[in-house]
Amino acid sequence: MTEPEPMLFGAEHVRQYEESDGEVGFLRHGAPILILTITGRKTGRPRKVPLIFQEHEGRYVVVASNGGAADHPDWYTDLQADPEVRVQVKADRFAARARTATGEEREKLWRTMAAVFAIYDEYRRTTEREIPVVVLEPVEPVEPVEPQP
pLDDT at 2: 42
Distance, CA of 132 to CA of 37 (rounded, Å)? 18
The strand pairing partners of 89, in sequence order, are 92
pLDDT at 102: 98
pTM given for the model: 0.88
Distance, CA of 119 to CA of 113 (rounded, Å)? 10
pLDDT at 93: 96
* Domains with residue ranges and CATH for the chain: 10-138 (2.30.110.10)
Q: Angle of helix 119-126 relative to helix 103-116, nearest 10 degrees?
A: 130
The strand pairing partners of 5, in sequence order, are none
DSSP letter assigned to residue 68: G
pLDDT at 5: 52
| Residue numbers of the chain with a pLDDT score lower than 50 | 1-4, 145-149
